[in-house]
Amino acid sequence: MAQDKKQVEQITDMEVDFAQWYTDVCKKAELIDYSSIKGMFIYRPYGYAIWENIQRMMDAEFKKYGHENVYLPVLIPESLLQKEKDHVEGFAPECAWVTMGGSDKLEERYCVRPTSETLFCEHYKNIIHSWRDLPKLYNQWCSVLRWEKTSRPFLRHREFLWQEGHTMHATAEEAREETQRMLNVYADFLENVLAMPVVKGQKTDKEKFNGAEETYTVECMMHDKKALQAGTSHYFGDGFAKAFDITFTGKDNQLHYPHQTSWGVSTRMIGGIIMTHGDNNGLVLPPRIAPIQVVIIPVAQHKEGVLEANRAVMDRLVKAGFRVKMDDSDQSAGWKFAEYEMKGIPLRLELGPKDIEKNQCVLVRRDSGEKTFVSLDGIEDTVAAMLDSIHDGLYAKAKKNLEDNTYACSSLEEVREKMQERGGFAKTMWCGDEACEIRMKEEAGVTSRCIPFAQEHLGDVCPICGKPAKHMVYWGVAY
RNA sequence: CCGGGUGUGGCGAAGCUUGGUAUCGCGCUUGGUUCGGGUCCAAGAGGCCGUGGGUUCAAAUCCCGCCACUCGGACCA
């Protein structure tokens, strides 16, 4: 049963202005606040709690595969950053520099890390000597700085939180395996925890990471049909190892260069959650990541026994492992309903005097607004089943959005027309030539999102230049 | 970075054209009332008008610079 009435007036309808809707949700759901510096945001407790859950769950996943957490400095000397040519070229325009130490000018300026490949390489040079030292599977949770010209909450910050995995392997095969393994970790997390369906694939040379040989990506489609790169995984080959002179002695007693990977996800994923699942009443959080999974609203809480009964239900749910909040503040029930809908809490449990008599409570789903009366007997199982059902529903809805808005095109004109008309992902064949990619951008306004692993044969030639096609590519407008 | 818009108690706005004591609604505090979809009543607190300079007897209001937000564009690992 869909709600036929808009419950929260402070939030602009997404159909009216999606960008404004997004900003309203970030602010009104108390995820984020602006600071006095452009592009630097305050993660408020509710927003940060989402990140903490992402960290906790992903970190456990990383460790399953033997990764260890480390922490490296926040500053990178300019000379170190410049060791790999492509890398520095890519990042130089966005670096912030430290030039003073106290009141003294520094002899060499330091970059506030935009990413830490160079620092990891410097360290790896010191600690990798033998094949016995490999692989090195390090990960770092930290913030990085990129001096962006435009910024938006979660999607593009000048300072943002992320994790960066940096690994070194004895062979190219091993490193390539790692690249795929971590891409899959991301894809599984996005789909199974955040209920965000992904398109897995490889970036074109034009879109790949500076200094990488291969860049892989998980692309998601937002509610407005724009693309969001939710995670990325790079294979570096031995390029950095050569630039930084990292070598190890192999079993064959010969010197070798190790093969490297890096992979990362950031707080941008939170923006993805908002834009994938949110609606005109505000945030909708997937149950497995929600800081509060069930909010309990006592009804007529001044009446004898009501609060006690509510507390008893809360205790049972907490004991069963759910993240639960009971709101016994003196706001009216209606106010509370609206408040927790805006904050995207997956399930609301109402318990009033009439329910207590009947040994029941009311459960209301955030995704559909559906209201059901359920027995308090076995409430733990009922809640668990409903949270799973909400997850599945959110995933199915997002999957439908992705599938309904992904379509094959056989000419550049068709891409341009359909993109203007309906957005989404256009898939076409492609010759592999960067010139065609540039034409697509100039004439159809889209960039290549990825060369998906799930290839389809849509034709024999590149629709842009007519030369033989090498791959099928997804095109779209990206955040 | 280029072009358009915006900036007034916590939030949303009026006031600016035509300079002259700072307005309204929501929220907040206190007391009462109500409680199954943003209850109602009463009293109260809260504002260097984004910021720096200029014009003027006098600036929220006029002029210039800067900062931030926002919408396009460019850029974006």
Q: What digits encode the pLDDT tens for the residues A359-381?
A: 999 999 999 999 999 999 999 99
- Mean pLDDT along residues A17-31: 91
pLDDT of residue A3: 31
- Mean pLDDT along residues A408-437: 93
User: Distance from residue A149 (CA) to nucleotide B32 (C1'), in Å?
Assistant: 54
A92/A278: higher pLDDT: A278
Give the span between the Cα atoms of A426 and A474, in whole angstroms: 6
- Mean pLDDT along residues A392-418: 95
pLDDT of residue A373: 97
**Nearest nucleic acid nucleotide to A356, CA to C1' distance:** B36
pLDDT of residue A85: 86
Amino acid at A82: Q
Residues 331-350 of A with CB under 7 A from strand B: 331-335, 337-339, 341-342, 350
pLDDT of residue A235: 97
User: Distance from residue A34 (CA) to nucleotide B45 (C1'), in Å?
Assistant: 27
Closest CA to A291 of A60, A69, A22, A55: A55
Give the span between the Cα atoms of A297 and A392, in whole angstroms: 25
**Nearest nucleic acid nucleotide to A148, CA to C1' distance:** B76
pLDDT of residue A5: 37
pLDDT of residue A437: 94
User: Does pLDDT of A91 surpass 50?
Assistant: yes
pLDDT of residue A9: 55
User: Does pLDDT of A8 surpass 50?
Assistant: no
Residue A318 approaches strand B within 7 Å at CB: no
Tens of pLDDT along A288-345? Answer: 999 999 999 999 999 999 999 999 999 999 999 999 999 999 899 999 999 999 999 9
Q: Is the CB of residue A161 less than 8 Å from the CB of residue A43?
A: yes
Q: Kindly report which amino acid residue has its CA closest to the C1' atom of nucleotide B2.
A: A149
- Mean pLDDT along residues A58-81: 96
- Mean pLDDT along residues A259-271: 96
**Nearest nucleic acid nucleotide to A362, CA to C1' distance:** B36
- Taking phi over 0 as left and psi of -120 to 50 as alpha, with beta for the rest, A255 belongs to beta
User: Distance from residue A289 (CA) to nucleotide B33 (C1'), in Å?
Assistant: 40
User: Does pLDDT of A2 surpass 60?
Assistant: no
Calculate what percentage of chain A has a pLDDT beyond 70: 98
Give the span between the Cα atoms of A5 and A306, in whole angstroms: 29
Q: Kindly report which amino acid residue has its CA closest to the C1' atom of nucleotide B50.
A: A36
Q: For chain A, what is the mean pLDDT? A: 94
Residue A150 approaches strand B within 7 Å at CB: yes
- Mean pLDDT along residues A267-288: 96
Give the span between the Cα atoms of A314 and A295, in whole angstroms: 9
| Residue A214 CA neighbour count, 13 Å, CB half | 17
- Mean pLDDT along residues A96-113: 91
> For the complex shown, is ipTM > 0.95?
no
pLDDT of residue A154: 95
pLDDT of residue A79: 93
pLDDT of residue A104: 87
User: Does pLDDT of A172 surpass 80?
Assistant: yes
Residue A219 approaches strand B within 7 Å at CB: no
User: Does pLDDT of A347 surpass 90?
Assistant: yes
Residue A153 approaches strand B within 7 Å at CB: yes
Closest CA to A347 of A327, A329, A370, A363: A363
Residue A143 approaches strand B within 7 Å at CB: no
- Mean pLDDT along residues A448-477: 96
User: If pLDDT is split at 50, 70 and 90, which confidence band does A159 have?
Assistant: very high
Q: Kindly report which amino acid residue has its CA closest to the C1' atom of nucleotide B12.
A: A10
User: Does pLDDT of A4 surpass 60?
Assistant: no
Residue A149 approaches strand B within 7 Å at CB: yes
pLDDT of residue A361: 97
User: Distance from residue A352 (CA) to nucleotide B44 (C1'), in Å?
Assistant: 34
**Nearest nucleic acid nucleotide to A352, CA to C1' distance:** B36
User: Does pLDDT of A354 surpass 60?
Assistant: yes
- Mean pLDDT along residues A120-132: 97
pLDDT of residue A15: 87
- Mean pLDDT along residues A46-75: 97
**Nearest nucleic acid nucleotide to A373, CA to C1' distance:** B36
User: Does pLDDT of A425 surpass 70?
Assistant: yes
- Mean pLDDT along residues A7-21: 78
Cβ contacts of A417 within 8 Å, gap of 6 or more: none
